[in-house]
Structure 1
Amino acid sequence: MSSVLDTVLDTLAEHSDNPSAFLALNSGNEYFRDDRFEGACAYRRSGRHVLQFGGPFAAPEHRERLLDSFVAETGPRLVAVQLQRADAELYARRGFTVNQLGASYAVDLSCFTLRGSRFVRLRNKISRARRAGLEVAEVQHDDRRELDLLDDRWLRDKGRHVKELRFLVGQRTGPLQEHRRLFVGRIAGEAVGYVNYSPSYGSRPGWLHDLSRRRPDAPPGVMEALNATVMERFVADGAGWLHFGFTPFTGLGEEHEVPGSSRMFARFARLLAEHGKAIYPAASQLEYKEKWAPHAVLPEYIAFLGKPRVGAVWQLLRATNAV
Protein backbone atom coordinates (compact mmCIF):
# COMPACT_ATOMS: atom_id res chain seq x y z
CA MET A 1 0.00 0.00 0.00
CA SER A 2 2.86 2.38 0.73
CA SER A 3 3.99 2.25 -2.92
CA VAL A 4 0.44 3.18 -4.00
CA LEU A 5 0.41 6.09 -1.54
CA ASP A 6 3.80 7.27 -2.75
CA THR A 7 2.57 7.19 -6.35
CA VAL A 8 -0.59 9.13 -5.47
CA LEU A 9 1.48 11.62 -3.44
CA ASP A 10 3.72 12.26 -6.45
CA THR A 11 0.62 12.81 -8.60
CA LEU A 12 -0.84 15.29 -6.10
CA ALA A 13 2.41 17.23 -5.87
CA GLU A 14 2.69 17.51 -9.66
CA HIS A 15 -0.89 17.96 -10.81
CA SER A 16 -3.31 18.90 -8.01
CA ASP A 17 -4.68 22.41 -7.60
CA ASN A 18 -6.91 21.44 -4.67
CA PRO A 19 -5.57 22.98 -1.42
CA SER A 20 -6.91 20.01 0.57
CA ALA A 21 -5.57 17.37 -1.82
CA PHE A 22 -3.31 15.78 0.80
CA LEU A 23 -6.43 14.54 2.60
CA ALA A 24 -6.86 12.12 -0.31
CA LEU A 25 -4.09 10.15 1.40
CA ASN A 26 -6.06 9.66 4.63
CA SER A 27 -6.30 6.18 6.07
CA GLY A 28 -9.42 4.39 4.89
CA ASN A 29 -9.35 5.74 1.35
CA GLU A 30 -9.01 3.55 -1.72
CA TYR A 31 -7.55 4.48 -5.11
CA PHE A 32 -8.70 3.86 -8.64
CA ARG A 33 -6.10 3.88 -11.39
CA ASP A 34 -6.19 3.11 -15.08
CA ASP A 35 -2.90 2.11 -16.68
CA ARG A 36 -3.80 4.10 -19.79
CA PHE A 37 -3.69 7.37 -17.89
CA GLU A 38 -1.39 9.03 -15.39
CA GLY A 39 -3.28 9.73 -12.17
CA ALA A 40 -5.68 8.38 -9.56
CA CYS A 41 -9.13 8.86 -8.04
CA ALA A 42 -9.38 8.70 -4.23
CA TYR A 43 -12.59 7.32 -2.76
CA ARG A 44 -14.23 5.31 -0.03
CA ARG A 45 -17.43 3.30 0.13
CA SER A 46 -20.40 3.99 2.39
CA GLY A 47 -23.32 1.64 2.04
CA ARG A 48 -23.88 1.13 -1.67
CA HIS A 49 -22.42 4.53 -2.54
CA VAL A 50 -18.94 5.46 -3.69
CA LEU A 51 -17.70 8.78 -2.26
CA GLN A 52 -14.91 10.34 -4.28
CA PHE A 53 -12.63 12.93 -2.73
CA GLY A 54 -11.36 15.91 -4.70
CA GLY A 55 -11.91 14.92 -8.33
CA PRO A 56 -9.52 13.07 -10.65
CA PHE A 57 -5.92 13.79 -9.67
CA ALA A 58 -4.16 13.58 -13.01
CA ALA A 59 -2.29 15.43 -15.70
CA PRO A 60 -4.65 17.88 -17.44
CA GLU A 61 -4.80 15.83 -20.64
CA HIS A 62 -5.86 12.73 -18.68
CA ARG A 63 -8.40 14.12 -16.23
CA GLU A 64 -11.55 13.75 -18.32
CA ARG A 65 -10.75 10.24 -19.56
CA LEU A 66 -9.70 9.09 -16.10
CA LEU A 67 -13.01 10.32 -14.73
CA ASP A 68 -14.91 8.50 -17.47
CA SER A 69 -13.03 5.30 -16.66
CA PHE A 70 -13.77 5.71 -12.93
CA VAL A 71 -17.48 6.27 -13.63
CA ALA A 72 -17.58 3.14 -15.76
CA GLU A 73 -16.01 1.19 -12.90
CA THR A 74 -18.15 2.51 -10.03
CA GLY A 75 -21.60 2.85 -11.58
CA PRO A 76 -24.43 5.29 -10.86
CA ARG A 77 -24.04 5.63 -7.08
CA LEU A 78 -21.02 7.91 -7.31
CA VAL A 79 -20.82 11.16 -5.34
CA ALA A 80 -17.78 13.44 -5.56
CA VAL A 81 -17.03 15.98 -2.82
CA GLN A 82 -14.62 18.87 -2.27
CA LEU A 83 -14.37 19.64 -5.95
CA GLN A 84 -12.73 22.86 -7.08
CA ARG A 85 -14.32 25.11 -9.71
CA ALA A 86 -12.45 23.48 -12.61
CA ASP A 87 -13.54 20.06 -11.31
CA ALA A 88 -17.13 21.25 -11.00
CA GLU A 89 -17.20 22.35 -14.62
CA LEU A 90 -15.66 19.05 -15.73
CA TYR A 91 -18.22 16.98 -13.83
CA ALA A 92 -21.09 19.09 -15.16
CA ARG A 93 -19.88 18.44 -18.71
CA ARG A 94 -19.86 14.69 -17.98
CA GLY A 95 -23.51 14.63 -16.92
CA PHE A 96 -23.25 15.13 -13.17
CA THR A 97 -25.50 17.45 -11.17
CA VAL A 98 -23.08 19.80 -9.43
CA ASN A 99 -23.77 22.23 -6.57
CA GLN A 100 -21.71 24.38 -4.29
CA LEU A 101 -21.35 22.70 -0.90
CA GLY A 102 -19.25 25.28 0.94
CA ALA A 103 -15.95 27.13 0.69
CA SER A 104 -12.32 26.97 1.73
CA TYR A 105 -10.30 29.87 3.14
CA ALA A 106 -6.66 30.85 2.68
CA VAL A 107 -4.19 33.51 3.80
CA ASP A 108 -1.45 34.80 1.51
CA LEU A 109 1.58 34.61 3.79
CA SER A 110 3.43 37.22 1.74
CA CYS A 111 0.78 39.69 3.01
CA PHE A 112 0.44 38.23 6.49
CA THR A 113 0.27 40.75 9.32
CA LEU A 114 -1.60 41.12 12.57
CA ARG A 115 -1.12 44.88 12.65
CA GLY A 116 -4.06 47.24 12.43
CA SER A 117 -7.37 47.76 14.18
CA ARG A 118 -9.11 44.76 12.59
CA PHE A 119 -6.81 42.40 14.51
CA VAL A 120 -7.04 44.06 17.95
CA ARG A 121 -9.17 41.30 19.50
CA LEU A 122 -7.03 38.58 17.95
CA ARG A 123 -3.82 40.17 19.22
CA ASN A 124 -5.32 40.44 22.70
CA LYS A 125 -6.21 36.74 22.73
CA ILE A 126 -2.73 35.79 21.54
CA SER A 127 -1.09 38.00 24.18
CA ARG A 128 -3.28 36.50 26.89
CA ALA A 129 -2.20 32.96 26.01
CA ARG A 130 1.45 33.90 25.85
CA ARG A 131 1.24 35.62 29.23
CA ALA A 132 -0.19 32.36 30.58
CA GLY A 133 3.13 30.75 29.65
CA LEU A 134 2.28 29.15 26.31
CA GLU A 135 5.29 27.71 24.52
CA VAL A 136 5.04 26.31 20.98
CA ALA A 137 7.29 23.59 19.61
CA GLU A 138 7.34 21.41 16.53
CA VAL A 139 7.36 17.75 17.50
CA GLN A 140 8.17 14.46 15.86
CA HIS A 141 5.22 12.45 14.71
CA ASP A 142 6.04 9.47 16.90
CA ASP A 143 5.49 11.55 20.08
CA ARG A 144 1.88 10.42 20.27
CA ARG A 145 0.84 9.45 23.78
CA GLU A 146 0.35 12.92 25.25
CA LEU A 147 -1.65 13.95 22.18
CA ASP A 148 -3.77 10.80 22.30
CA LEU A 149 -4.71 11.75 25.86
CA LEU A 150 -5.48 15.30 24.76
CA ASP A 151 -7.72 13.92 21.99
CA ASP A 152 -9.60 11.83 24.54
CA ARG A 153 -10.24 14.84 26.78
CA TRP A 154 -11.27 16.99 23.83
CA LEU A 155 -13.78 14.41 22.61
CA ARG A 156 -15.26 13.74 26.07
CA ASP A 157 -15.86 17.46 26.49
CA LYS A 158 -17.96 17.49 23.31
CA GLY A 159 -20.50 15.12 24.86
CA ARG A 160 -21.06 11.39 24.76
CA HIS A 161 -23.04 11.48 21.52
CA VAL A 162 -20.39 13.42 19.57
CA LYS A 163 -18.06 11.44 17.32
CA GLU A 164 -14.74 12.50 15.84
CA LEU A 165 -15.15 13.76 12.27
CA ARG A 166 -13.30 11.96 9.50
CA PHE A 167 -12.88 11.71 5.71
CA LEU A 168 -13.02 15.48 4.97
CA VAL A 169 -10.67 16.41 7.83
CA GLY A 170 -7.02 15.70 8.49
CA GLN A 171 -5.29 13.11 10.64
CA ARG A 172 -1.96 12.97 12.48
CA THR A 173 -1.29 9.27 12.01
CA GLY A 174 -0.60 6.98 9.08
CA PRO A 175 2.37 6.12 6.85
CA LEU A 176 2.67 9.60 5.32
CA GLN A 177 2.65 11.57 8.56
CA GLU A 178 6.31 12.43 8.02
CA HIS A 179 5.22 14.82 5.27
CA ARG A 180 3.07 16.82 7.69
CA ARG A 181 4.24 19.25 10.37
CA LEU A 182 2.89 18.98 13.90
CA PHE A 183 3.10 21.83 16.43
CA VAL A 184 2.17 21.51 20.10
CA GLY A 185 1.42 24.28 22.59
CA ARG A 186 2.41 23.60 26.20
CA ILE A 187 1.93 25.45 29.47
CA ALA A 188 4.10 24.38 32.40
CA GLY A 189 5.21 21.41 30.33
CA GLU A 190 1.71 20.04 29.65
CA ALA A 191 0.18 19.92 26.18
CA VAL A 192 -2.87 22.20 25.95
CA GLY A 193 -3.37 22.15 22.19
CA TYR A 194 -1.87 21.18 18.86
CA VAL A 195 -2.25 21.88 15.15
CA ASN A 196 -1.29 19.50 12.37
CA TYR A 197 -0.39 20.97 8.96
CA SER A 198 -0.30 19.17 5.60
CA PRO A 199 1.43 20.31 2.42
CA SER A 200 -0.66 22.11 -0.22
CA TYR A 201 0.22 22.12 -3.90
CA GLY A 202 -0.84 23.88 -7.07
CA SER A 203 -1.37 27.58 -7.75
CA ARG A 204 -1.42 28.47 -4.03
CA PRO A 205 1.32 26.25 -2.56
CA GLY A 206 2.01 26.18 1.14
CA TRP A 207 0.39 24.43 4.09
CA LEU A 208 -3.06 23.27 5.12
CA HIS A 209 -4.24 23.77 8.73
CA ASP A 210 -5.86 20.35 8.65
CA LEU A 211 -6.41 19.20 12.24
CA SER A 212 -6.42 20.93 15.62
CA ARG A 213 -7.29 20.03 19.19
CA ARG A 214 -7.53 22.10 22.37
CA ARG A 215 -7.69 20.86 25.92
CA PRO A 216 -11.04 21.91 27.42
CA ASP A 217 -9.44 23.76 30.33
CA ALA A 218 -6.84 25.57 28.21
CA PRO A 219 -6.73 29.38 28.61
CA PRO A 220 -8.46 31.47 25.93
CA GLY A 221 -6.31 32.29 22.93
CA VAL A 222 -4.20 29.14 23.01
CA MET A 223 -5.08 28.00 19.48
CA GLU A 224 -4.78 31.50 18.05
CA ALA A 225 -1.35 31.98 19.64
CA LEU A 226 -0.23 28.56 18.50
CA ASN A 227 -1.28 29.18 14.90
CA ALA A 228 0.14 32.72 14.84
CA THR A 229 3.51 31.38 15.99
CA VAL A 230 3.48 28.76 13.26
CA MET A 231 2.46 31.31 10.63
CA GLU A 232 5.46 33.43 11.57
CA ARG A 233 7.66 30.37 11.12
CA PHE A 234 6.11 29.56 7.76
CA VAL A 235 6.73 33.14 6.62
CA ALA A 236 10.37 32.81 7.67
CA ASP A 237 10.57 29.52 5.73
CA GLY A 238 9.27 31.23 2.59
CA ALA A 239 5.94 29.38 2.40
CA GLY A 240 3.39 30.95 0.07
CA TRP A 241 -0.05 30.29 1.58
CA LEU A 242 -1.73 28.95 4.69
CA HIS A 243 -5.00 27.21 3.87
CA PHE A 244 -7.61 26.84 6.58
CA GLY A 245 -9.47 24.19 4.63
CA PHE A 246 -13.01 23.43 3.63
CA THR A 247 -16.07 24.34 5.69
CA PRO A 248 -19.41 22.96 4.45
CA PHE A 249 -22.45 25.23 4.13
CA THR A 250 -20.43 28.48 4.20
CA GLY A 251 -19.68 31.02 1.48
CA LEU A 252 -22.71 29.91 -0.49
CA GLY A 253 -23.80 32.09 -3.40
CA GLU A 254 -25.81 31.75 -6.57
CA GLU A 255 -22.94 33.31 -8.48
CA HIS A 256 -20.80 30.27 -7.65
CA GLU A 257 -23.19 27.66 -9.05
CA VAL A 258 -22.44 25.95 -12.37
CA PRO A 259 -24.97 25.47 -15.19
CA GLY A 260 -27.41 22.65 -14.49
CA SER A 261 -27.14 22.83 -10.71
CA SER A 262 -30.03 21.61 -8.59
CA ARG A 263 -32.20 24.32 -7.05
CA MET A 264 -33.52 21.77 -4.56
CA PHE A 265 -30.01 20.94 -3.34
CA ALA A 266 -29.09 24.64 -3.19
CA ARG A 267 -32.07 25.23 -0.87
CA PHE A 268 -31.06 22.21 1.19
CA ALA A 269 -27.50 23.54 1.58
CA ARG A 270 -28.78 26.98 2.65
CA LEU A 271 -31.08 25.29 5.18
CA LEU A 272 -28.15 23.44 6.69
CA ALA A 273 -26.15 26.66 6.71
CA GLU A 274 -28.84 28.23 8.90
CA HIS A 275 -29.88 25.29 11.06
CA GLY A 276 -27.29 22.54 10.69
CA LYS A 277 -25.21 23.06 13.82
CA ALA A 278 -26.15 19.61 15.14
CA ILE A 279 -24.79 18.01 11.96
CA TYR A 280 -21.63 20.04 11.36
CA PRO A 281 -20.01 22.85 13.42
CA ALA A 282 -19.73 25.16 10.43
CA ALA A 283 -20.37 28.43 12.30
CA SER A 284 -17.60 27.94 14.84
CA GLN A 285 -15.15 26.82 12.14
CA LEU A 286 -15.97 29.84 10.00
CA GLU A 287 -15.56 32.22 12.95
CA TYR A 288 -12.06 30.90 13.59
CA LYS A 289 -11.04 31.11 9.93
CA GLU A 290 -12.38 34.61 9.43
CA LYS A 291 -10.32 35.88 12.37
CA TRP A 292 -7.29 35.67 10.09
CA ALA A 293 -8.88 37.83 7.33
CA PRO A 294 -8.36 35.31 4.52
CA HIS A 295 -7.24 36.67 1.17
CA ALA A 296 -8.95 33.91 -0.83
CA VAL A 297 -12.37 32.30 -0.37
CA LEU A 298 -12.71 29.40 -2.80
CA PRO A 299 -16.08 27.77 -3.52
CA GLU A 300 -16.10 23.97 -3.30
CA TYR A 301 -18.61 21.59 -4.80
CA ILE A 302 -20.42 18.28 -4.59
CA ALA A 303 -21.36 16.28 -7.71
CA PHE A 304 -23.99 13.56 -8.08
CA LEU A 305 -24.07 11.19 -11.02
CA GLY A 306 -27.62 11.95 -12.07
CA LYS A 307 -29.94 13.81 -9.70
CA PRO A 308 -29.11 14.53 -6.04
CA ARG A 309 -30.39 11.77 -3.78
CA VAL A 310 -31.23 11.86 -0.10
CA GLY A 311 -29.61 8.46 0.38
CA ALA A 312 -26.34 9.70 -1.10
CA VAL A 313 -26.27 12.72 1.23
CA TRP A 314 -26.98 10.44 4.19
CA GLN A 315 -24.08 8.15 3.26
CA LEU A 316 -21.77 11.16 2.97
CA LEU A 317 -22.79 12.28 6.46
CA ARG A 318 -22.15 8.74 7.73
CA ALA A 319 -18.72 8.65 6.10
CA THR A 320 -17.75 11.91 7.81
CA ASN A 321 -19.08 10.60 11.16
CA ALA A 322 -21.45 13.57 11.36
CA VAL A 323 -24.40 11.24 12.11
Structure 2
Amino acid sequence: MDVHNAASKKAWDRFLLTGIPGWEAGSAWLSVPFCLMYAVALVGNSAVVLVVVKDQNLHKPMYLFLSMLAVSEMGVSLSTLPTVLNVFLFSSREIGMDSCFAQMFFIHCFSIMDSGVLWAMALDRFLAIYNPLQYATILTTPRIAMIGLGIAVKSVTLLLPLPVLLRRLPFCGSNVLAHPYCLHPNLIRLPCADTRVNSLYGLFVLLCTFGLDSLFILLSYTMIVKTVLSMASKEGRLKALNTCVSHICAVVVYYTPMIGLSMVYRFGKHAPPVLHSLMANVYLLVPPVLNPIIYSIKTKEIFKGFGKVFLPKKF
Protein backbone atom coordinates (compact mmCIF):
# COMPACT_ATOMS: atom_id res chain seq x y z
CA MET A 1 0.00 0.00 0.00
CA ASP A 2 2.80 2.41 0.90
CA VAL A 3 4.56 1.65 -2.37
CA HIS A 4 1.32 2.22 -4.28
CA ASN A 5 0.67 5.56 -2.51
CA ALA A 6 4.23 6.69 -3.16
CA ALA A 7 3.87 5.84 -6.85
CA SER A 8 0.57 7.73 -7.01
CA LYS A 9 2.10 10.74 -5.29
CA LYS A 10 5.02 10.71 -7.70
CA ALA A 11 2.65 10.53 -10.67
CA TRP A 12 0.83 13.67 -9.50
CA ASP A 13 4.03 15.65 -9.32
CA ARG A 14 4.00 15.87 -13.09
CA PHE A 15 1.67 16.33 -16.06
CA LEU A 16 1.50 14.77 -19.51
CA LEU A 17 1.59 17.17 -22.44
CA THR A 18 -0.28 16.48 -25.68
CA GLY A 19 0.69 17.21 -29.25
CA ILE A 20 -1.99 17.50 -31.93
CA PRO A 21 -4.58 14.75 -31.32
CA GLY A 22 -4.77 12.26 -34.15
CA TRP A 23 -1.41 13.31 -35.58
CA GLU A 24 0.80 11.49 -33.09
CA ALA A 25 2.33 9.26 -35.77
CA GLY A 26 3.63 12.28 -37.65
CA SER A 27 4.93 14.17 -34.62
CA ALA A 28 8.53 14.07 -35.90
CA TRP A 29 7.42 15.64 -39.19
CA LEU A 30 5.38 18.25 -37.33
CA SER A 31 8.55 19.37 -35.56
CA VAL A 32 9.84 20.74 -38.89
CA PRO A 33 7.19 23.48 -39.40
CA PHE A 34 7.25 24.24 -35.68
CA CYS A 35 11.04 24.67 -35.75
CA LEU A 36 10.75 26.92 -38.81
CA MET A 37 8.08 29.05 -37.14
CA TYR A 38 10.17 29.45 -34.00
CA ALA A 39 13.24 30.32 -36.07
CA VAL A 40 11.32 32.98 -38.04
CA ALA A 41 9.76 34.38 -34.84
CA LEU A 42 13.03 34.59 -32.89
CA VAL A 43 15.18 35.83 -35.78
CA GLY A 44 12.55 38.29 -37.02
CA ASN A 45 11.80 39.84 -33.64
CA SER A 46 15.49 39.93 -32.67
CA ALA A 47 16.21 41.72 -35.95
CA VAL A 48 13.48 44.30 -35.23
CA VAL A 49 14.97 45.06 -31.80
CA LEU A 50 18.51 45.25 -33.24
CA VAL A 51 17.45 47.60 -36.04
CA VAL A 52 15.57 49.95 -33.67
CA VAL A 53 18.52 50.03 -31.25
CA LYS A 54 21.16 50.65 -33.94
CA ASP A 55 19.33 53.10 -36.21
CA GLN A 56 19.12 56.55 -34.60
CA ASN A 57 16.33 57.52 -37.02
CA LEU A 58 14.12 54.87 -35.40
CA HIS A 59 14.47 56.21 -31.85
CA LYS A 60 10.89 57.44 -32.03
CA PRO A 61 7.83 56.41 -29.97
CA MET A 62 6.28 54.20 -32.63
CA TYR A 63 9.44 52.14 -33.13
CA LEU A 64 10.35 52.00 -29.45
CA PHE A 65 6.92 50.49 -28.77
CA LEU A 66 7.48 48.11 -31.70
CA SER A 67 10.73 46.91 -30.11
CA MET A 68 8.82 46.29 -26.85
CA LEU A 69 6.28 44.22 -28.80
CA ALA A 70 9.12 42.25 -30.38
CA VAL A 71 10.66 41.53 -26.95
CA SER A 72 7.37 40.31 -25.47
CA GLU A 73 6.73 38.10 -28.51
CA MET A 74 10.20 36.59 -28.18
CA GLY A 75 9.27 35.90 -24.56
CA VAL A 76 6.12 34.03 -25.65
CA SER A 77 8.11 31.98 -28.18
CA LEU A 78 10.90 31.12 -25.75
CA SER A 79 8.35 30.16 -23.07
CA THR A 80 6.69 27.56 -25.30
CA LEU A 81 9.72 26.42 -27.32
CA PRO A 82 11.25 23.82 -24.93
CA THR A 83 8.14 21.72 -24.33
CA VAL A 84 6.79 22.01 -27.89
CA LEU A 85 10.03 20.66 -29.36
CA ASN A 86 10.24 18.00 -26.64
CA VAL A 87 6.76 16.74 -27.53
CA PHE A 88 7.07 16.83 -31.33
CA LEU A 89 10.77 16.13 -31.83
CA PHE A 90 11.66 13.80 -28.93
CA SER A 91 8.17 12.50 -27.95
CA SER A 92 8.92 13.57 -24.35
CA ARG A 93 5.55 14.39 -22.82
CA GLU A 94 6.22 14.64 -19.08
CA ILE A 95 6.65 17.96 -17.30
CA GLY A 96 7.05 18.55 -13.57
CA MET A 97 4.32 20.42 -11.73
CA ASP A 98 6.52 23.37 -10.74
CA SER A 99 7.98 23.58 -14.26
CA CYS A 100 4.45 23.53 -15.68
CA PHE A 101 3.28 26.33 -13.38
CA ALA A 102 6.38 28.37 -14.22
CA GLN A 103 5.78 27.93 -17.95
CA MET A 104 2.12 28.89 -17.52
CA PHE A 105 3.18 32.05 -15.67
CA PHE A 106 5.65 33.17 -18.35
CA ILE A 107 3.37 32.35 -21.30
CA HIS A 108 0.45 34.34 -19.88
CA CYS A 109 2.72 37.10 -18.57
CA PHE A 110 4.31 37.78 -21.96
CA SER A 111 0.91 37.45 -23.68
CA ILE A 112 -0.49 40.13 -21.38
CA MET A 113 2.54 42.32 -22.13
CA ASP A 114 1.78 41.89 -25.85
CA SER A 115 -1.75 43.15 -25.29
CA GLY A 116 -0.55 46.09 -23.19
CA VAL A 117 2.01 47.15 -25.80
CA LEU A 118 -0.61 46.97 -28.55
CA TRP A 119 -2.75 49.37 -26.52
CA ALA A 120 0.27 51.68 -26.02
CA MET A 121 0.86 51.61 -29.78
CA ALA A 122 -2.78 52.58 -30.37
CA LEU A 123 -2.32 55.51 -27.99
CA ASP A 124 0.84 56.45 -29.89
CA ARG A 125 -1.03 56.51 -33.21
CA PHE A 126 -3.85 58.60 -31.70
CA LEU A 127 -1.46 61.22 -30.31
CA ALA A 128 0.52 61.34 -33.58
CA ILE A 129 -2.65 62.06 -35.58
CA TYR A 130 -4.61 64.13 -33.05
CA ASN A 131 -1.77 66.39 -31.89
CA PRO A 132 1.22 66.01 -34.26
CA LEU A 133 2.90 69.26 -33.16
CA GLN A 134 3.22 68.19 -29.52
CA TYR A 135 3.50 64.45 -30.19
CA ALA A 136 7.26 64.28 -29.58
CA THR A 137 7.05 66.38 -26.41
CA ILE A 138 4.22 64.25 -24.96
CA LEU A 139 5.73 60.84 -25.69
CA THR A 140 9.30 61.42 -24.59
CA THR A 141 11.73 58.53 -24.19
CA PRO A 142 11.50 58.54 -20.35
CA ARG A 143 7.68 58.42 -20.57
CA ILE A 144 7.83 55.58 -23.07
CA ALA A 145 10.17 53.71 -20.71
CA MET A 146 7.73 54.30 -17.83
CA ILE A 147 4.83 52.99 -19.94
CA GLY A 148 6.84 49.88 -20.80
CA LEU A 149 7.81 49.36 -17.17
CA GLY A 150 4.19 49.83 -16.08
CA ILE A 151 3.01 47.20 -18.58
CA ALA A 152 5.63 44.72 -17.32
CA VAL A 153 4.88 45.37 -13.62
CA LYS A 154 1.12 45.07 -14.17
CA SER A 155 1.56 41.76 -16.01
CA VAL A 156 3.82 40.22 -13.37
CA THR A 157 1.70 41.47 -10.46
CA LEU A 158 -1.57 40.15 -11.89
CA LEU A 159 -0.08 36.76 -12.87
CA LEU A 160 1.85 35.97 -9.66
CA PRO A 161 -1.22 34.69 -7.72
CA LEU A 162 -2.14 32.15 -10.45
CA PRO A 163 0.55 29.52 -9.73
CA VAL A 164 0.05 30.06 -5.97
CA LEU A 165 -3.71 29.43 -6.28
CA LEU A 166 -3.09 26.34 -8.38
CA ARG A 167 -0.45 24.97 -6.01
CA ARG A 168 -2.96 24.73 -3.16
CA LEU A 169 -5.27 22.42 -5.14
CA PRO A 170 -5.08 18.59 -5.14
CA PHE A 171 -4.43 17.17 -8.62
CA CYS A 172 -5.90 13.70 -8.34
CA GLY A 173 -7.99 13.52 -11.51
CA SER A 174 -6.55 13.32 -15.00
CA ASN A 175 -3.03 14.70 -15.39
CA VAL A 176 -3.17 14.98 -19.20
CA LEU A 177 -3.02 18.51 -20.65
CA ALA A 178 -4.59 19.32 -24.00
CA HIS A 179 -1.54 21.15 -25.42
CA PRO A 180 2.25 20.80 -25.70
CA TYR A 181 2.57 23.54 -23.05
CA CYS A 182 0.80 24.62 -19.87
CA LEU A 183 -2.10 27.10 -20.04
CA HIS A 184 -4.23 28.22 -17.09
CA PRO A 185 -7.67 27.42 -18.65
CA ASN A 186 -6.45 23.87 -19.24
CA LEU A 187 -4.87 23.43 -15.80
CA ILE A 188 -7.92 24.51 -13.76
CA ARG A 189 -9.91 21.63 -15.31
CA LEU A 190 -7.69 19.00 -13.68
CA PRO A 191 -7.96 19.43 -9.86
CA CYS A 192 -10.47 17.30 -7.96
CA ALA A 193 -11.53 20.26 -5.80
CA ASP A 194 -13.50 23.48 -6.01
CA THR A 195 -11.77 25.78 -8.53
CA ARG A 196 -14.20 28.71 -8.36
CA VAL A 197 -11.61 31.01 -6.79
CA ASN A 198 -9.13 30.19 -9.56
CA SER A 199 -11.76 30.67 -12.26
CA LEU A 200 -12.95 33.99 -10.83
CA TYR A 201 -9.42 35.32 -10.45
CA GLY A 202 -8.60 34.15 -13.98
CA LEU A 203 -11.66 36.04 -15.26
CA PHE A 204 -10.58 39.13 -13.26
CA VAL A 205 -7.12 39.02 -14.87
CA LEU A 206 -8.69 38.58 -18.30
CA LEU A 207 -10.95 41.61 -17.86
CA CYS A 208 -8.18 43.79 -16.37
CA THR A 209 -5.80 43.05 -19.22
CA PHE A 210 -7.22 41.89 -22.54
CA GLY A 211 -10.64 43.35 -21.78
CA LEU A 212 -9.43 46.84 -20.89
CA ASP A 213 -6.67 46.85 -23.52
CA SER A 214 -9.08 45.95 -26.32
CA LEU A 215 -11.54 48.59 -25.08
CA PHE A 216 -8.81 51.29 -25.04
CA ILE A 217 -7.65 50.22 -28.51
CA LEU A 218 -11.22 50.54 -29.79
CA LEU A 219 -11.62 53.97 -28.16
CA SER A 220 -8.26 55.11 -29.59
CA TYR A 221 -9.29 54.15 -33.11
CA THR A 222 -12.71 55.74 -32.67
CA MET A 223 -10.93 59.02 -31.86
CA ILE A 224 -8.47 58.46 -34.73
CA VAL A 225 -11.32 58.01 -37.23
CA LYS A 226 -13.08 61.08 -35.84
CA THR A 227 -9.89 63.16 -36.16
CA VAL A 228 -9.14 61.88 -39.67
CA LEU A 229 -12.66 62.65 -40.90
CA SER A 230 -12.26 66.24 -39.69
CA MET A 231 -9.21 66.76 -41.94
CA ALA A 232 -9.86 68.89 -45.01
CA SER A 233 -7.30 67.24 -47.27
CA LYS A 234 -8.00 63.79 -48.74
CA GLU A 235 -4.27 63.23 -49.09
CA GLY A 236 -3.79 64.07 -45.40
CA ARG A 237 -6.54 61.63 -44.41
CA LEU A 238 -4.98 58.80 -46.42
CA LYS A 239 -1.51 59.55 -45.07
CA ALA A 240 -2.78 59.53 -41.48
CA LEU A 241 -4.64 56.26 -41.93
CA ASN A 242 -1.67 54.67 -43.69
CA THR A 243 0.44 55.11 -40.53
CA CYS A 244 -2.07 52.87 -38.69
CA VAL A 245 -2.15 49.96 -41.16
CA SER A 246 0.70 47.97 -39.59
CA HIS A 247 -0.72 48.36 -36.10
CA ILE A 248 -4.23 47.38 -37.21
CA CYS A 249 -2.80 44.24 -38.83
CA ALA A 250 -0.91 43.42 -35.61
CA VAL A 251 -4.09 43.87 -33.53
CA VAL A 252 -6.09 41.61 -35.88
CA VAL A 253 -3.34 38.96 -35.91
CA TYR A 254 -3.16 39.01 -32.10
CA TYR A 255 -6.80 39.27 -31.01
CA THR A 256 -8.50 37.06 -33.63
CA PRO A 257 -6.84 33.77 -32.52
CA MET A 258 -7.19 34.78 -28.85
CA ILE A 259 -10.94 35.38 -29.21
CA GLY A 260 -11.27 32.13 -31.14
CA LEU A 261 -9.42 30.19 -28.44
CA SER A 262 -11.53 31.79 -25.70
CA MET A 263 -14.74 30.89 -27.54
CA VAL A 264 -13.58 27.29 -27.96
CA TYR A 265 -12.79 27.01 -24.24
CA ARG A 266 -16.04 28.64 -23.12
CA PHE A 267 -18.54 27.18 -25.58
CA GLY A 268 -16.76 24.37 -27.42
CA LYS A 269 -16.65 21.70 -24.74
CA HIS A 270 -17.87 19.13 -27.26
CA ALA A 271 -15.59 20.37 -30.05
CA PRO A 272 -12.94 17.91 -31.33
CA PRO A 273 -9.71 18.01 -29.25
CA VAL A 274 -7.75 18.78 -32.41
CA LEU A 275 -9.61 22.12 -32.68
CA HIS A 276 -8.51 23.15 -29.16
CA SER A 277 -4.93 22.22 -29.95
CA LEU A 278 -4.80 23.99 -33.31
CA MET A 279 -6.38 27.20 -31.93
CA ALA A 280 -3.91 27.30 -29.02
CA ASN A 281 -0.96 26.82 -31.37
CA VAL A 282 -2.20 29.52 -33.74
CA TYR A 283 -2.73 31.94 -30.82
CA LEU A 284 0.79 31.50 -29.41
CA LEU A 285 2.88 30.83 -32.52
CA VAL A 286 1.41 32.86 -35.39
CA PRO A 287 1.56 36.50 -34.07
CA PRO A 288 5.31 36.35 -33.23
CA VAL A 289 5.93 35.03 -36.76
CA LEU A 290 3.73 37.49 -38.67
CA ASN A 291 4.30 40.78 -36.84
CA PRO A 292 7.97 41.30 -37.84
CA ILE A 293 6.98 40.49 -41.44
CA ILE A 294 4.01 42.90 -41.32
CA TYR A 295 6.08 45.78 -39.92
CA SER A 296 9.02 45.22 -42.27
CA ILE A 297 6.73 45.20 -45.32
CA LYS A 298 4.26 47.92 -44.32
CA THR A 299 6.67 50.34 -42.62
CA LYS A 300 9.25 51.96 -44.92
CA GLU A 301 11.46 53.13 -42.05
CA ILE A 302 11.77 49.60 -40.65
CA PHE A 303 12.52 48.22 -44.12
CA LYS A 304 15.23 50.85 -44.63
CA GLY A 305 16.54 50.13 -41.12
CA PHE A 306 16.97 46.45 -42.03
CA GLY A 307 18.91 47.53 -45.10
CA LYS A 308 21.20 49.87 -43.15
CA VAL A 309 22.01 47.25 -40.53
CA PHE A 310 22.27 44.10 -42.66
CA LEU A 311 23.14 45.52 -46.12
CA PRO A 312 25.04 48.73 -45.31
CA LYS A 313 26.81 48.95 -48.70
CA LYS A 314 23.52 49.13 -50.59
CA PHE A 315 21.98 51.70 -48.23
TM-score (norm 2): 0.25
TM-score (norm 1): 0.25
Larger Rg: 2
More strand by share: 1
